[in-house]
Structure 1
Amino acid sequence: MARILLAEDDGSLRGFLTRALERAGHEVTACENGDDAVDALEDGPWDLLLTDIVMPGADGIEVARIAANRQPGLRIMFITGFAAVALTAAQSTPQAKVLSKPVHLRDLVAEVERMVAA
């Protein structure tokens, strides 16, 4: 079981991701924006940060930067619907995994499993 901090501004997607990850046996704290995710970092340590990139408040890249400073070695996974933003995220955080929306829940859970097992 991994402790996952999820930041996703789309309420429906946030709910689907939370339920899928919890069904897979993970503990998930879901935040609706980047600022809430930055606040939730205090409740760590976390095994994985799973964050959208484009969202209100701090964007996902900023959340990841703050999280990595507070918890070096934290695994980070970005999800985004914007190809150009995905490229920027991959360049700014090369150790992170970037998944493009739409993403199938089964594929996302499998990628999470791979990341937390590493």
Structure 2
Amino acid sequence: MIRILLAEDDQAMRTYLARALENAGYDVVAVDRGTQALPHLESDSFDLLLSDIVMPEMDGIELAQRCAKIAPATKVMFITGFAAVSLRASREAPQAKVLSKPFHLRDIVLEVQRMFGLSEHAQI
């Protein structure tokens, strides 16, 4: 089963994303900031870090850079509502996928499936 570490500071968005991904068959650990995600990256194994970019204490880009050192095999996908931040993410973490808000919950599930080479109809 694919394991996802979700870092999103907006509680409603975090709840919706976690629920959509869990309903699609993924194992999700959700935290509300980058500094809370680090201990999970250090102690557990995740296939994907799904992170908002703008968060308190540590932004998603710094979190992704730390993740690359701690768990280099973990894929990274950013979610953001800010176009300028999206450009910065593309420049500073070029291997990461950036999904701009607003998006439909189905879109994020489809993007995760694409990252792992799963077809839209695959059993996850």
Structure 1 counterpart of 2:116: 116
Q: Residue type of the partner of 2:94?
A: P
User: When the two structures are superposed, what TM-score results if normalisation uses the length of structure 1?
Assistant: 0.96
Deviation at 1:116, TM superposition (A): 2.2
Percent identity, please: 58
Structure 2 counterpart of 1:42: 42
- Paired with 1:96 and 1:51, the residues of 2 have a C-alpha distance of 10
**Which runs of 4 or more aligned residues in structure 1 lie more than 3 Å from their structure 2 counterparts after TM superposition?**
none
Structure 2 counterpart of 1:61: 61
Deviation at 1:117, TM superposition (A): 2.8
- Paired with 1:83 and 1:41, the residues of 2 have a C-alpha distance of 27
Q: Unmatched 5+ residue regions in structure 1?
A: none
8 Å contact kept, 1:47–1:116: no
Which of the two has higher C-alpha Rg?
A: 2
- Paired with 2:43 and 2:3, the residues of 1 have a C-alpha distance of 10
Structure 2 counterpart of 1:23: 23
Q: Unmatched 5+ residue regions in structure 2?
A: 119-124
8 Å contact kept, 1:21–1:109: yes
**Coordinate RMSD, CA, aligned:** 1.1
Query: Partner of 2:17: helix, strand, or coil?
Result: helix
Deviation at 1:70, TM superposition (A): 0.9
- Paired with 1:100 and 1:40, the residues of 2 have a C-alpha distance of 25
Structure 1 counterpart of 2:94: 94
Structure 2 counterpart of 1:105: 105
- Paired with 1:83 and 1:43, the residues of 2 have a C-alpha distance of 33
- Paired with 1:56 and 1:101, the residues of 2 have a C-alpha distance of 18
Structure 1 counterpart of 2:71: 71
